């Protein structure tokens, strides 16, 4: 870490067990002070690095969404288990409003407030800041289950099938070489941002009212439970809405609000795909929506508001 970093990361922890997507994007850090059920007791840190960059050199919206999801799961999950790390928090829904741009270099910080914990759900809200400036506001709901139960499900899912089946076309299973068949009318996003390229290759096709995108799934896109990470899915969706807005309007897009509902868990069995619609846009704003799918199964429903400006 840079010597100028004003936060002593030696007093912070990283997530245990390891989380492939957070390790790939991060590292992310957190610290719990006092009662985990109280506002402000959880403090999260993301040191910003060049790989988090967007087109203009700031922090990519997908990285901010991933950090917001991380903070939500820490704040709500630790409120649910009293700070013991014995529960596994899975995001049900999240909304993020982008208030200012983040820049590469200074760390992002996140704090939050648990609102309510029930037998299965936990609700929380909070904010992301950088050098004292509020970058984004977030709120959401997680489902919490016993961590031992979640890990048992992961181990069962990872067990080899008997008899062993050959990987289907387009499969990116851990035990099979990735074979991705991309339709001929999809083009690789060679002009993707640094952050998007760091996540993995993707392909797009312009539609009359938006765009369609496909991305192969890779092991680093999973969470510690062995399914596709919520932050990964939102990162891909954020790249999709900005790409669709740009293709539709010819203007430079910036996400100002993003909301998502998680419908089911994804895995490494096939690429993920999304169709982004642009129901309405003007000269300064565009409103978009879409659904992220895998093998015809709906994983994520999302909507976004995009600010538009003339390209420089």
The answer to whether domain 1-152 and domain 167-312 are alike in fold is yes
For residue 61, what pLDDT is reported? Answer: 95
Q: What is the DSSP string of 221-286?
A: GB-TTSSB-HHHHHHHHHHHHHHHHHHHHSSEEEEEEEEEEE-S---SSS-EEEEEEEEEE-SSEE
Burial pattern 234-265, b for ≥16 Cβ within 10 A else e, equals bbbbbbbbbbbbbbbbebbbbbbbbbbbbeeb
- Taking only the tens place, the pLDDT of each residue in 147-192 is 666 555 555 555 444 333 333 334 444 444 456 677 888 988 877 7
For residue 148, what pLDDT is reported? Answer: 63
- Taking only the tens place, the pLDDT of each residue in 279-297 is 999 999 999 999 999 999 9
Tokens of 112: 């939050």
- Specify whether the CB–CB gap between 46 and 26 falls below 8 A: yes
Tokens of 203: 């392909």
Domain range summary for the chain, segments of one domain joined by +: 1-152, 167-312
Average pLDDT, the chain: 87
Mean predicted confidence (pLDDT) in 40-55: 94
Q: Using alpha carbons only, what angle is made at residue 58 by residues 55 and 63, rounded to the nearest 5 degrees?
A: 90
Q: Using alpha carbons only, what angle is made at residue 299 by residues 296 and 304, rounded to the nearest 5 degrees?
A: 115
For residue 37, what pLDDT is reported? Answer: 87
When pLDDT is cut at 50, 70 and 90, the band that residue 311 belongs to is confident
Q: Say which CATH superfamily domain 1-152 falls into.
A: Hotdog Thioesterase (3.10.129.10)
- Taking only the tens place, the pLDDT of each residue in 84-104 is 877 788 999 999 999 999 999
Is domain 167-312 in CATH 1.20.120.530, yes or no? Answer: no
Mean predicted confidence (pLDDT) in 137-152: 80
């Amino acid at each position: 870490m840079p010597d100028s970093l004003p936060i002593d990361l030696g007093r912070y922890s990283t997530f245990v067990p390891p989380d492939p997507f957070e390790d790939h994007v991060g590292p992310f850090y957190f610290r719990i002070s006092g009662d985990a059920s109280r506002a402000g007791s959880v403090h999260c840190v993301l040191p910003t690095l060049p790989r988090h960059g967007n087109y203009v050199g700031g922090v990519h919206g997908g990285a901010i969404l991933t950090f917001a999801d991380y903070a939500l799961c820490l704040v709500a999950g630790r409120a649910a288990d009293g700070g013991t790390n014995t529960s596994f928090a899975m995001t049900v829904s999240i909304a993020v409003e982008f208030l200012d741009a983040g820049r590469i270099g200074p760390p992002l910080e996140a704090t939050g407030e648990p609102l309510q914990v029930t037998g299965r759900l936990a609700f929380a809200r909070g904010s992301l800041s950088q050098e004292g400036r509020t970058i984004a506001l977030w709120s959401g709901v997680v489902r919490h289950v016993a961590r031992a139960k979640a890990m048992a499900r992961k181990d069962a899912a990872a067990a080899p099938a008997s008899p062993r089946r050959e990987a289907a076309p387009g499969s990116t299973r851990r035990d099979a070489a990735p074979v991705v068949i991309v339709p001929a009318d999809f083009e690789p996003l060679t002009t993707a941002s640094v952050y998007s390229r760091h996540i993995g290759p993707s392909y797009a096709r312009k539609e009359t009212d938006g765009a369609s995108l496909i991305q192969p799934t890779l092991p680093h896109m999973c969470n510690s439970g062995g399914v596709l990470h919520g932050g990964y899915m939102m990162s891909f969706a954020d790249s999709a809405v900005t790409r669709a807005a740009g293709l539709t309007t010819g203007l430079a897009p910036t996400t100002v609000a993003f909301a998502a509902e998680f419908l089911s868990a994804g895995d490494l069995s096939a690429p993920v795909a999304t169709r982004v619609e642009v129901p309405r846009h003007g000269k300064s704003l565009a409103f978009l929506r879409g659904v992220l799918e895998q093998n015809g199964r709906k994983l994520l429903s999302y909507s976004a508001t995009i600010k538009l400006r003339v390209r420089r």
